[in-house]
Amino acid sequence: MKTSQYDTTKGVRLKRWFRATMGHYLREERLKRNLTIEELSQHPYIPCSPQSIESVELGCGNTQWHTMCTLLKFYRKEVQITLTERNAE
């Protein structure tokens, strides 16, 4: 089966959207708790550098799953994915 350029880039765009959305919510949670990136990176339960925390929050670079999971555990949050029916377009 042939795939078009559109089909192959659709996954890339989905990954970028997920990264940006997760980063946005992680940043909101950090700001809600009045924490700076430096304070967060110096916490004993978070073995992450300030640069990796910042890149996860900005949604740039490669997806750093370890940093994302560490922050989610620290904030006591979880990610849930629900499949729903789509309306015919």
pTM of the model: 0.79
Cβ-contact 68, 22 below 8 angstroms: yes
User: How far apart, in whole angstroms, are the C-alpha atoms of residue 60 and residue 16?
Assistant: 8
Query: Which phi-psi region, left, alpha or beta, contains residue 80 (left: φ > 0; alpha: ψ -120 to 50)?
Result: beta
pLDDT tens for 20-77 read 999 999 999 999 999 999 999 999 989 889 999 999 999 888 878 999 999 999 999 9
Q: State the pLDDT at residue 4.
A: 54
Q: State the pLDDT at residue 78.
A: 93
Burial class of residue 2 in the structure, from the number of CB atoms within 10 Å of its CB (0-12 exposed, 13-18 middle, 19+ buried)? exposed
